[in-house]
Amino acid sequence: MLILHIYFIFFKANLTLLKVGSPGVLYSYSSVQNHKVGPVAAKPKVSNSAVTVRTKFPETWIWEIIDSGEDGVAKLTKTVPDTITSWVISGFSLNPEYGLALSTDPAKVRVFRPFFISLNLPYSVKRGESVVVPVNVFNYLDQEVTTNVTLHNPAGWFSFASGAEKKSKREVETSRTKIITVGPNSAGSADFLIKPEKIGYMEVKATATSSMAGDGVSRKLLVKPEGITQYKTKGVLLDLRDKREFKKDVELAIPDDIVPDSAMIEVSAVGDLLGSALDNLDKLIRQPYGCGEQNMLNFVPNIVILDYLKNSKQLTKNIESKALAYLDMGYQRELTYKHDDNSYSAFGKSDESGSTWLTAFVAKSFKQAKKFTNIEDSAIIEPLRWIASKQNENGSFSEVGHVSHKAMQGGGSGGLALTAYVLTAFVESLDMTNEFKENIDKTVKYLEDQIAKGSADVYSTAVAAYALGLADLPSKEKAFQLMESKAINDGDLKHWENEKEKDAKEEKKKYSWEEDISNAINVEITAYAMLSYLQRNMTAEAIPILKWLLSQQNSHGGFASTQDTVVALGAIGKLAKELSGNGKDLTIKFNYPPGGSTELKVNDENSLLYQKAELPSRKVRQVSIDAKGTGFAVVQISYRYNVNKKGAVPAFKLNIQTDDSSTKDHLLLNICASYTAGKESNMAVMEVTLPSGFTIDEDGIKALRVTPRVKKVETKEENTLVVLYFDKVTTEDVCVPVSAYKTFRVAKQKPVPVTVYDYYDTTKKATDFYVPKPSSICDICEGDDCKNCDNDV
């Protein structure tokens, strides 16, 4: 174990870093004055005994806030991670008298061993593929070392592959050893060819021992199932305020023909309506969020969390600092999408014009956040001035930029929804300025005229009812009654649906394996409706709406997309204020055949704690919830599984072609997509998964960035997943070239998916699979591993 002591000395406006190490550790470093201090490498101990296995390899190490004493000195003691690297340590301090001080010369800590090994693993592989695990041995001693390099497999996660493997089912080897000789100040490698047999995070543990020195390393390799993952969540509100027992059987809609062993089932419970969102502020949805509107998902939920916890007196310093950090990060990032005229658009200045809707969304959100963080008045007023300048003569607002969120345009309702949404932004600013009173009056007149006609679609009606209620105008009652007439009651649940989705919903029932995800528009409509209920203090009447919203929530606390998540969390947060209070004491049992049970307890002390547990069996298809006690809690049964199918009722046409110039080591794809569910989609996203062992390089990313109609390019999962954004996809093909290179030796790759979907209506999508040029064990093996490899298919 390596121990590092760091001293921070604050003197007036200067900050000095001093480091002192512990004797005998294997690292050296220089102080800020570049003097050699502390210990140097100790002489290796000659031993064949078991080596210490290194397991901690963080990419960043220290990020802490510490207080100094009156003498201005602070001491921080840390265990040095196992990474063989150099750490650069810097700091800054704040003082009420002298202000900000920065360390002018960062300190460097070099962690080193004269003999060590390393593992170079891909981000992931799929079960059944063959992958080479190279164990690299570095010898900085002044003499040659002959070492036994062993790859361990005690749990049987994988088999040691070879060309003869398919001819017989051999017993799983628990380890395999290779002997190599490494010269002084040289490096060598021992390669192990393995085939992962189980799904999950597999331990890859290697050791190297000799009479001179030894080392061990353990890392995790993600082994994925074949096919594409489907996510489902069943959410239930346990309301035991007026009764003491609750029972419900929940059926898990897992098809029979899923990828074997790919099912995973998890149960959770939390004593707060926003508990799951609070636990997942950085990952509320599974979709990427890399544009100006989606970035607000890093921003708005934190306002909801801070407002709710502050009012309910549950806000802790830890939660507050975390939420404020996300708030500040989201604010600064959103400013990068601003145009010179103070408007905002999905992709900033690369768009021809700002967006009416997004600018209203940003101005409204900045105003709501102002009470929690430092946001200048001009950051709110100037965008509103831009919007005001775009108002039509009849009081309505039209989208002057690209239409990313078409439901906001109201379809046949003549932009009623967008106009109502803009009204909410103006009303939010009334305590700052009266500058927009004339705009508000014209907007209200337009909304009242449209509502009086009674022909608005349900989405527009719900937004208008909320906006008129926020302005507290008499016409809010007409809008509310019109909205109420379109409600759908289903037992103890209540919600609203976009009329256009009902036929598609019936069509999807033909495909039992398809994700049972909620339509984002329906969640958004229902959330606006619940906000209108709460404006009227109809808390009890809002409970059935809350139950439906919670039934649509994903396991991260968000929903299907960005806007539905933002609006729904805002509505749930407002209702949570009414339901907050002490008196929770629930025991929740999740029973499942044959005779299994998992128990979670929720009480006042742990109500904000998001508790979860994975069920031990992948074959469970029904879970019975049995809860007793007092108070309320939210429980979820979340599960996922993989399917090898393309998708139900595709709304896009996908054509994936592997270019003839592709080789086993270089993949060149040409992917074309077109929209088949209408004239054009909302903003669309394409996700291209690369085969195991392949990654996209910077040249490939640059080529995509200059491809026509591609608005933004992101990579995830260590450059093995490419995410492409489009303003829209039309009935005409949009084609993109994807170039990737094999950077890890993997053979017998499984098919991988390409998915394209409408960002604001994720039920509209298409998925197809492709495979790279076939690669056999002979292409990646070395030495004895290649025996009979030509028998491999």
Query: What are the Cα distances from residue 586, in Å, to 241, 250, 275, 624, 787?
Result: 11, 19, 16, 16, 62
**Predicted pLDDT at 617:** 85
Closest C-alpha among 230, 253, 254 to residue 644: 230
Q: 527 and 570 in contact (C-beta within 8 Å)? A: yes
Give the span between the Cα atoms of 174 and 195, in whole angstroms: 13
Secondary structure, 3-state, 526-586: HHHHHHHHHHCCCHHHHHHHHHHHHHHCCCCCCCCCHHHHHHHHHHHHHHHHHHCCCCCEE
The ranges of the chain with pLDDT < 50 are 19-48, 163-168, 410-413, 509-513, 515-517, 793
Q: 340 and 306 in contact (C-beta within 8 Å)? A: no
**Predicted pLDDT at 32:** 28
Q: 464 and 481 in contact (C-beta within 8 Å)? A: no
Query: What are the Cα distances from residue 236, in Å, to 249, 295, 597, 742?
Result: 11, 29, 18, 46
User: Which residues, at least 6 apart from 756, have a Cβ–Cβ distance to it below 8 Å?
Assistant: 652, 654, 673, 684, 685, 686, 687, 729, 765, 766
Give the span between the Cα atoms of 428 and 478, in whole angstroms: 22
The whole model's pTM is what?
Answer: 0.83
Give the span between the Cα atoms of 193 and 173, in whole angstroms: 13
**Predicted pLDDT at 664:** 92
Give the span between the Cα atoms of 722 and 730, in whole angstroms: 21
Q: 671 and 710 in contact (C-beta within 8 Å)? A: no
**Domains along the sequence of the chain with CATH:** 3-113 (2.20.130.20), 116-224 (2.60.40.10), 230-272+581-643 (2.60.120.1540), 372-486 (1.50.10.20), 646-779 (2.60.40.690)
Tokens of 501: 């989705």
**Predicted pLDDT at 18:** 53
